[in-house]
Amino acid sequence: MNAPVIKLQNKKTAYWNRALVTLTCLSILAAFFWGIMRESENVNPHLRTAFPEAEQFENQSPGNFIALQDGHKIGYVTLSEAHGYGGPLRIAVGVDLKGVIVNLSMIKQRETPSWYQRILDDGFINIFKGKKVTDLFQIGDDVDAVSGATSTSRGITQAVQSASWDIGRDQLKLSVPKQQKPDIQFGLPEIVLGLLILLWLVSKFWLSRHKKHIRWLSLLVSMVTLGFIYDSPLTLSFVNKMLLGYWPDWQNHLYWYMLIAFIVTTFIWNTKSVYCRWICPFGTAQECINILGGAKSRNPLRFKSIFTWTQRSLTWAAILLALIYRNPGMTSYEIFGSLFELQGSTFQFILLAMVMIASVFIKRPWCRYLCPLPPIYDFFKHLQNKAKGKWNKIITN
């Protein structure tokens, strides 16, 4: 093949790449605004759930209602919002005239379905019934979080606390605890993540000859702690949450901000995903099976394009649906929880079994063919290369 033909093919490829990136950006923006426009909220059923004895409700102010029976005031219902794992949680809290919580109703939640089901199965929402508006509502103090769904438990508790204290202070004129700034949650996950980042830096700049051994140490520590103990791998739902603008307070989510800062910094530096190769717990699980089965890097050239575009299409569709329905976790098809927490749908467990079997023969099959993160990296890598190209033209001119 002569040079002019190769040059023409490269121009066509570059043209189609630009067109697809532009289409992707436009479709994501369209889905985002479509999701905003279609979002509606009917709170009336939730008011009745929060205060079943009331016959009608009088709107006192935005988000605040008076519960009436036979024309007499019997209590209050206040709407409140806080951040869960998947995004904002909106709750209606009913309180009687004695300052006791009658009931509450979840108006809207954006948690991963299997994690929210864990909240329901544990009866977590019901533990607030009968509590007084003067209680502290503190996780680990007078409220026990649901194991494996700590962020969701904390979000629900914060929403109930805010609504209860507002009613107690503004409506019932009671002395309620003062709202305090959230404490910085710095525990074992943050410490482990910091150590894993340090291991990568050590192998990069000081002990490069031991890079292979340090990498395996990093992977195994990550799989045990961030995988099986805390189940905290990076997922598509977290990416969707960022795109939707559901940025939680950093004090309660320091781990995720540390992880995102590390991924972005290393990607800008060398356009590679250090997280996937050095930290990802599920990637480690696949590599362990790879070693046991003697797997090889199989990527048939005749099917490479099909695999690549299938992976990209799945990611694109999952992000669009999440933006349209404004629910980050509803389209998360990862199988991490099925392995580390034994939670998930029948489909996810079947897919997990297929991936584990494939890992005997193929190195990291999930990462190569299904994981939604590589297409996202490719997208930003393309944008980064375009930005560098334009910057170089500006400098040379």
CB 218 within 8 A of CB 195: no
Mean pLDDT of 341-364: 91
What is the SS3 assignment for 165-224?
A: HHHHHHHCCCCCCCCCCCCCCCCHHHHHHHHHHHHHHHHHHCCHHHHHHHHHHHHHHHHH
CA distance 257 to 246: 13
Q: What percent of the chain has pLDDT over 70?
A: 91
Least confident of 13-22, 288-297, 313-322: 13-22
Residue 372, helix vs strand vs coil: coil
pLDDT tens column, 105-158: 999 888 877 778 888 888 888 899 999 999 988 887 778 888 767 888 888 999
pLDDT tier at 8, thresholds 50, 70, 90: very low
Flag whether the pTM goes above 0.85. no
Tens-place pLDDT, residues 153-186 = 888 999 999 999 999 999 999 998 887 777 788 8
Binned at pLDDT 50, 70 and 90, residue 11 comes out as low
Q: Give 217-253 pLDDT, tens digit per residue.
A: 999 999 999 999 988 899 998 899 889 988 888 888 8
Show the domains of the chain with their CATH numbers. Answer: 44-171 (3.90.1010.10), 185-396 (no CATH)
Provide, for the chain, the percentages of residues in helix, strand and coil under a 3-state DSSP scheme, each rounded to the nearest 5. Answer: 60, 10, 30
Q: Across the strands, what pairs with 82? A: 89
pLDDT of residue 13: 61
What pLDDT was estimated at residue 262? 94
E strands, 266-310, are none
Quick one: pLDDT at residue 64? Answer: 93
